[in-house]
Amino acid sequence: MSIFYTTYESPLGCLTLYATASALVGLTFPTQSVTFSDPICKVERTSSPILTHTIQWLDQYFAGQVPTVTIPLAPQGTAFQQRVWSHLQHIPYGATLTYGELSQLVFHSPRPKGAQAIGSAVGANPISLIIPCHRILGKGRSLTGYTGGLSIKRALLSIENISFVDK
């Protein structure tokens, strides 16, 4: 399997975008990395229609617009992670959920340690920003961990005019 990548200079640092011929499989901030389950995959720097559409999406987002570009996504992860990431994709621009609320959506009932399981899946998201894990807040709308770093999470929430409690 071939994976194509390029970089994107964002206001928050250099992002790396990864795609197959048919879908985006990774988007990382400078503090993140992504691994692919296929040990024989070939990763090469080039352009592709998926990467071009992703750059258009990012241009709209960082201009403060709700992105209108549609990008096929194919994040690699467990069935549970896929379920969590699917829920993340339904959080609208400018809206948030708490880890507890997301846990309720995923498990359909209160579950001991559910928010922690959700946190692990959210933290494993390989397509940051487009699968909007930055829209997940802690209890009481508090700012909590983000794989890209809290300064990046603050900036992303600010772009979307989302209020939060910064402890």
Alpha carbons 129 and 159: distance in angstroms, whole number: 12
133 is catalytic: yes
Q: What φ, ψ does residue 42 adopt, rounded to 5°?
A: -105, 125
Alpha carbons 149 and 113: distance in angstroms, whole number: 23
Three-state DSSP class for 51? helix
- What's the Rg (C-alpha) of the chain? 16
Alpha carbons 47 and 5: distance in angstroms, whole number: 7
Q: Annotated catalytic residue: which of 58, 133, 152, 156? A: 133
Q: Identify the H or E element spanning 57.
A: helix 49-62
Active site residues: 133
